[in-house]
Chain A
């Protein structure tokens, strides 16, 4: 088989000796008991943790300790812990998903940190991502964007044979690059403007590049952009989103979305498929 890797240059963790332990880690964590409650930073100490542990496992250790002390565990979103489901979040030392490039929080390991470090952990902040509790935020706004047009209408059962639509490999690969988005929201978290253009554009680009996506191309772009703007800030081309994206999705997709959005506005409206 051939595995095509579109980011071969992506740096990964430096090799480390096995069995090393980090000691005396101070965690400064945002605690907030509910959506409307005031929150504040609290400090905790991890006396010793293997450098093989992942960042979230370090939080597991902290939570076990807290439960041992009869305190409430720190709430944080996580699930697959292999970098694909997009559930994990966390602003770690001022960076979305922490200091390792191209890596979601769940695949960040403690070998990236030093003993005696102080690590500040904050939830992602955006008006559209209200805090539910502690480090957990509500990213449902992303679902609203997809619901408004992030699909190809294809009722079950009526599809033609899959090979009837040949798709040039570079086009298919480019669509796949965009489709790799895991919907974690790091782009919004990292953006100085709280914009979701990278998330939205990744989906627009995935579907608009494919022949199957052409019928709804402009109505999709128009609807998704306008839904996005009901919740999120605007893109001023800082590029922070691309840098924070665990899948390394390029801001080139935003340019494509901008272009298609403009076209959706100047096209004869009867040529948009709906409205």
Chain B
């Protein structure tokens, strides 16, 4: 848990001395880092990189659907057979999933902790309207785009991994392994397609700030490349959104599907 904000400020005005003599209790190394806000941001950046990597690879992999059902389903099977025979089938995939899940949980936990700290840091809000200068829509809505993405991911898993929501409102049934048709079936539903589009735009907004921000959080700062950070963030966000939004559009347009 983070240091509680404002443990020793209000109401104890008076002479001060010996303010730096107290010994801090140290937790074990990684927990010690994670117990602070700067450490949490560090964790958010690192887990963010993991998830950005996933999102980009996920999008690129899904482009296979433009090559047809065979290629796409073959790619899905390949993922299950990753690193075979070093590891048994699906183990590598599960290891990735585990890592990803851990990243997601840590990212959310850190975000939750920081949000609480930040709320406590201004317990009485400004009573007049703020006029923000550079804080943009993306940076100020990270919390909300994050929640949208989380909820969407749950839907997305229920739709195309577990299959429980895949066939609702359609005549077909979810077939494990037949990825191509599962996608086609789901995204042929217009409301679902819209949901995918909206969620991916939220993802793009999240990435637009997140990719830029992680450089700051990790302290990767060098005047030589600083000006590229914004371009990189815009680029990654754009590529991911364009790629991912193309799938529901392609399905609705009949480019993908039967």
Chain A residues in contact with chain B, CB under 8 A?
Answer: 28, 30, 35-36, 41, 91, 93-95, 120, 122, 125-128, 130, 138, 140-141, 143-144, 147-149, 190, 192-195, 223, 225-227, 229-240, 242-244, 251-252, 254-262, 265-266
Contact = CB atoms under 8 A, between A and B. Distances in A.
Given A91-B126, A94-B126, A148-B20, A130 B9 contact: yes
B7 A230 contact: yes
Given A237-B213, A243-B133, A256-B219, A127 B121 contact: yes
A81 B25 CA distance: 43
Chain B, interface size: which category?
Answer: 35 or more
The listed residue with most B CB atoms (<10 A of its CB), out of A233, A235, A255, is A233
Contact of A120 (B33, B37, B128): B128
B128 A28 contact: yes
B128 A91 contact: yes
Given A127-B120, A195-B118, A238-B140, A226 B5 contact: no
Nearest to A132: B13
A192 B126 CA distance: 10
Contacts of A232: 5, 121
Contact of A239 (B33, B117, B135): B135
A149 B20 contact: yes
Contact of A226 (B36, B118, B122): B36
A242 B134 contact: yes
A66 to B, nearest CB: 21
Contact of B38 (A125, A141, A149, A258): A258
Contacts of B127: 30, 41, 122
B32 interface: yes
A236 to B, nearest CB: 7
Interface of B: 2-11, 13, 16, 19-20, 24, 29, 32-33, 36-42, 114, 117-118, 120-135, 139-140, 142, 209, 212-213, 215-221, 223, 226
Given A255-B215, A259-B221, A265-B33, A128 B9 contact: yes
Contacts of B6: 127-128, 230-231
B212 A237 contact: yes
A261 B45 CA distance: 15
B121 A126 contact: yes
B123 to A, nearest CB: 5
A223 B139 CA distance: 28
A242 B135 CA distance: 10
Contacts of B42: 258, 262
The listed residue with most A CB atoms (<10 A of its CB), out of B11, B40, B41, B216, is B216
Contacts of A255: 215-216, 218-221
B216 A237 contact: yes
6 contacts: A141-B9, A144-B19, A233-B5, A233-B118, A260-B219, A262-B33
Nearest to A237: B213
Contacts of A225: 36, 38
Contacts of A244: 133
A233 B121 contact: yes
A194 B118 contact: yes
Nearest to B120: A127
B8 A236 contact: no
Nearest to A224: B20
